């Protein structure tokens, strides 16, 4: 029996061996990723990656819970974190607690992640004190894109730079057990990582972080496009397209199914 990584194990990795984290949305992929990863994040990026939405704004808590259950059936080792989607936690600590407790109770996952502006310190503290581990998420916050504009890296002005540092401190002081930093300059990531007491997990945030996370389908090359900060380790899109193209041709030419794929069963009383 494999021992599951816990929140204290993640916290203890500050400044140590880099944390290996990936997104997971479904059972078969989670099973493949689990042995390699410290953290599997059921990210609200699933709205775009799995459901074809333009942004993460339309993702619901029910969607997160459905995918979270599938991931939990496969994950034996990694800590599983569920993203709270837009509109389910920002209004008040009480709203966040209701959403987070549902996400954990209905899936069995061990933690939630929220996109944590400076205001979110109160919410993070409220949840942590009541037994819900929270991962923060600062810098480029995709759910805030309507207000903050686009998916460009953050830290282009002194005000923005200071704001990202304030977000980091707010999450750290409120008791977040780890903080995702998305889309920031290397120097800013280094400064934050040095200043906070918990591991930072970077996505487009340089090697200065205590760990790294990517959207799994980006690193596997499922799509034509990926952001600058992604390194592709496979070309899954091409692999799938090629395989399905060959199968389709075989069906059309009646080469599939062949004898090996065909049942030849005769009633044994005939």
Q: Which residues are annotated as a binding site for 3-methyl-2-oxobutanoate?
A: 44-45, 83, 113
Burial of 252 (0-12, 13-18, 19+ CB in 10 A): exposed
Q: Any contact of residue 68 with ligand KIV (CB under 6 A)?
A: no
Q: Any contact of residue 213 with ligand KIV (CB under 6 A)?
A: yes
**Pattern 74-93, binding to Na ion, x per CB under 5 A?**
---------x----------
> Contact 141/183 with Cβ under 8 angstroms?
no
173 is catalytic: no
User: Could you please report the per-residue DSSP string of 11-31?
Assistant: HTTTTSSPEEEEE--SHHHHH
Binding segment for ligand KIV among 38-46, 148-156, 167-175, 230-238 (CB under 6 A)?
Answer: 38-46
203 touches, from Na ion, ligand KIV, none (C-beta below 5 to 8 Å by class): ligand KIV
Contact set for ligand KIV, span 86-125 (CB under 6 A): none
Binding segment for ligand KIV among 43-51, 89-97, 104-112, 236-244 (CB under 6 A)?
Answer: 43-51
Q: Any contact of residue 218 with Na ion (CB under 5 A)?
A: no
CA distances from residue 201 to 50, 143, 227 in whole angstroms, order as listed: 23, 18, 17
DSSP 76: S
Q: Which one of residues 21, 22, 33, 44 is an interface residue with Na ion (CB under 5 A)? A: 44
Closest separation between CB of residue 104 and ligand KIV, Å?
Answer: 17
Q: Which residues have a Cβ under 8 Å from the Cβ of 157 and sit 6 or more positions away?
A: none
> Contact 97/127 with Cβ under 8 angstroms?
yes
110 touches, from ligand KIV, Na ion, none (C-beta below 5 to 8 Å by class): none
Among residues 94, 106, 148, 182, the one annotated as catalytic is 182
Q: Which residues of 174-192 are buried (b: 16+ CB within 10 A; e: fewer)?
A: bbbbbbbbbbbbeebbbbb
Q: Annotated active-site positions, please? A: 182
């Amino acid at each position: 029996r494999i021992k599951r990584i816990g929140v204290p194990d993640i916290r203890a990795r500050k400044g140590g061996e880099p944390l290996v984290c990936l997104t997971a949305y479904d059972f078969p992929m989670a099973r493949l990723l689990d042995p390699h990863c410290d953290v599997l994040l059921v990210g609200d990026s699933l709205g775009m990656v799995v459901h074809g939405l333009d942004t993460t704004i339309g993702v619901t808590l029910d969607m997160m819970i459905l995918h979270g259950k599938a991931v939990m059936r496969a994950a034996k080792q990694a800590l599983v974190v569920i993203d709270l989607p837009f509109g389910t936690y920002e209004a008040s600590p009480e709203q966040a607690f209701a959403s987070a407790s549902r996400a954990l109770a209905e899936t069995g996952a061990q933690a939630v992640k929220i996109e944590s502006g400076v205001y979110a310190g109160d919410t993070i503290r409220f949840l942590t004190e009541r037994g819900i581990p929270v991962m923060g998420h600062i810098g480029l916050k995709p759910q805030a894109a309507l207000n903050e504009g686009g998916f460009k890296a953050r830290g282009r002005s002194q005000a923005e730079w200071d704001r990202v540092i304030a977000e980091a401190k707010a999450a750290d002081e409120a008791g977040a057990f780890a903080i995702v930093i998305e889309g920031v300059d290397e120097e800013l990531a280094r400064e934050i990582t040095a200043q906070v007491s918990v591991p930072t997990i970077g996505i487009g945030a340089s090697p200065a972080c205590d760990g790294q996370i990517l959207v799994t389908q980006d690193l596997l090359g499922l799509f034509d496009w990926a952001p600058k900060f992604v390194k592709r380790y496979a070309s899954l899109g091409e692999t799938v397209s090629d395989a399905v193209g060959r199968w389709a041709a075989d069906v059309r030419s009646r080469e599939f199914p062949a004898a090996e794929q065909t049942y030849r069963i005769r009633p044994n009383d005939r």
